[in-house]
Amino acid sequence: DRANEYNPVPKLGSYEATNPCGEQPLLPYDVCNLGSINLGKFVKEDARPGTGADEGVDWDALRNVTHLSTHFLDNVIDANVYPLQDIHDLAQNIRRIGLGVMGWADMLVRLGVPYDSADGVDLGRRVMEFINEESRSASEKLAEVRGVFPAWEESIWGPDGKAVVGKDDTRIRPERALRNCNLTTVAPTGTISIFAGCSGGIEPLFAVAFMRNQAGSLMPDVNEDFVRMAEEGGWYSDDLMERIAQEGHIHFDEVPEEIQKIFRTAHDITPEWHVRMQAAFQEHTDSAISKTTNFPREATEEDVRQIYELAFSLGCKGVTVYRDGSRDGQVLSTGATSQAGAAEVSPEAGVMKVQLADAREEAHNLRIEVEQLRDQLLDRDETAGAGRQKRQRPAALRGYTVKMVSPLGDLYVTINEDLNGRPFEVFCTLGKAGGPANADAEAVGRLISLALRSGISIVQVKDQLRGISCDRAVGLGPNKVLSVPDAVGQAIERYVLEKEGVQEDLPLAVPATTQGATQFEASNSSSYGGETFDMGTCPDCGAGHLVYEEGCKKCHICGYSECG
């Protein structure tokens, strides 16, 4: 099996299945976080059909983004909250990531290279080789700072004498000290490519203009590059776009021959070229590739058999075939497909479609009613909970403590849970500060604890505290803290998000470089030159109270002055 032949950690297990799309073989309890680079964005703005890849592609920018993406995906491994400990342990042990591409057809169109050509296949091989090597280089630089993945020594990347070797006792991969066992994977990107406004994965354009099935409704989708070239060439018309969408092709007299060669769509391309393009990318992809080989409606079983054999002989790890119109409600369809299907619809099918539409409407209305009833029940439970008897405190509780920066200094918020994992009590402590500031913080914690023990939801408590402001605030943007109560509310919000398994945001303030790994640092500290305090407590000694003299706040015990 070719997938297992390149399994980077065979001593930890063998592949028995892939994810549904086929691009990611996984071990038991294995995971892989995927990311895709939009290749169309790396064609230079002044490039036009006929511009070579050397001049037309911004290779330096592609290198930079590849390093940044590799770094980002490695961070995601640590930021993820996994449902099982076994998944967490394996993810940390092998640190598998899958960097891939989308917008490949867009890059070809903007460079004027036909998809089904030797030049197109060669360029695909070159681009993926570049990304694969740069991602490995980025992983090596990360390993210099963060260390290799724990299972490295007995992987296919490990040192001689310990690394796994092939059946002929030769190395499967050359020795490389990597942070990640697996670097590249080409996913289908069906949804994210729509968000990004680019072609999906390494697929050709499905059509220049087609109808996309969006939640049961057919929406027109016209390729922006085609429209731009038509307008620049002076042959654009609404009538032409409508005919292209209806017929499902661009073979009209108004469309120049050279444009027709560039905009080769999925059904213009023979299955053989689909597979050859997949094989070119597979040569330089650690994992596998999700790629569809499109067949016309009249394709036979023998046609499919030949493609399976070709994919195997070219070194692909899998192959997917789809015959146009072989199922109702396919995600992408041209006007021609819809017309062909309409000719086969019987009167009974028409009646069933009407009944199906009625059933969908009824189901939609029922879902709304269920949501309304659920909200009413939740409100009733929360109201009833407020009147329940206060819960008794167990002898020992498990806690969660978070440090927040507030206008009064460092605030430590501890949230303790009962034996069932429900929030039970909250303690608020203000660093070195004493006097009324700490007393008020303690009072806030006691009142929150009383509310929690009396059945009030911690989310309701958070909603009451968030947004309370005073005359001084610290931090900027998402790190801005308006007051001590607001800081407590933010701490509770973090606790709730972590309990729900929401992943933390990773800041992307530092660009990737090719000189070395860059560490990302998150901070809640203010960007001000110094901290500011409000209620009269000295931030230095914590014992004195500030007085306002000569335009500045001063402490007569330790000599602190707000003005320096």
Closest CA to 237 of 217, 257, 264, 255: 255
Backbone angles phi, psi at 147, to 5 degrees: 95, 155
Backbone angles phi, psi at 384, to 5 degrees: -65, -35
Q: Helix/strand/coil (H, E, C) string of 2-59?
A: HHHHCCCCHHHCCCCEECCCCCCEECCCCCCEEEEEEHHHHECCCCCCCCCHHHHECH
DSSP E strands in 75-149: the ranges are 97-102
From the candidates 4, 5, 16, 19, which is the catalytic residue?
Answer: 19
Q: Are the CB atoms for 63 and 515 separated by under 8 Å?
A: no
Closest CA to 109 of 230, 192, 16: 230
Polymer length of the chain: 564
Cα distances from 278 to residues 57, 208, 233, 377, in angstroms, run 21, 21, 33, 53
* DSSP string for residues in 203-239: PPBS-SEEEEEETTEEEEEE-HHHHHHHHHHT---HH
Task: Reply yes or no on whether 19 is catalytic.
Answer: yes
Record the tokens describing residue 330, joined without a space.
Answer: 């396919």
Task: Reply yes or no on whether 23 is catalytic.
Answer: yes
Cα distances from 144 to residues 137, 139, 148, 181, in angstroms, run 11, 9, 8, 15
From the candidates 7, 23, 33, 180, which is the catalytic residue?
Answer: 23
Angstrom distance (rounded) from CA 8 to CA 155: 6
Question: Is residue 520 classed as helix, strand or coil in its secondary structure?
Answer: coil
Q: Classify residue 133 as exposed, middle or buried by CB count within 10 Å of its CB (0-12, 13-18, 19+).
A: middle
Exposure class string for 462-495: b at 16+ Cβ within 10 A, else e: beebbeeebebbbbeeebebbbbbbbbbbbbbbb
From the candidates 5, 16, 21, 309, which is the catalytic residue?
Answer: 21
In eight-state DSSP terms, residue 393 is P
Residue with tokens 């940390």: 92
In what helix (H) or strand (E) does residue 332 lie, and over which residues does it extend?
Answer: strand 332-333
Is the dihedral angle over the CA atoms 7, 136, 65, 144 positive or is it negative? Answer: positive
Angstrom distance (rounded) from CA 149 to CA 74: 11
Q: Are the CB atoms for 398 and 416 separated by under 8 Å?
A: yes
Q: Classify residue 94 as exposed, middle or buried by CB count within 10 Å of its CB (0-12, 13-18, 19+).
A: buried
Q: Are the CB atoms for 502 and 393 separated by under 8 Å?
A: no
Q: Are the CB atoms for 286 and 246 separated by under 8 Å?
A: no
Q: Are the CB atoms for 555 and 544 separated by under 8 Å?
A: yes
Task: Reply yes or no on whether 198 is catalytic.
Answer: no
Catalytic (active-site) positions: 19, 21, 23
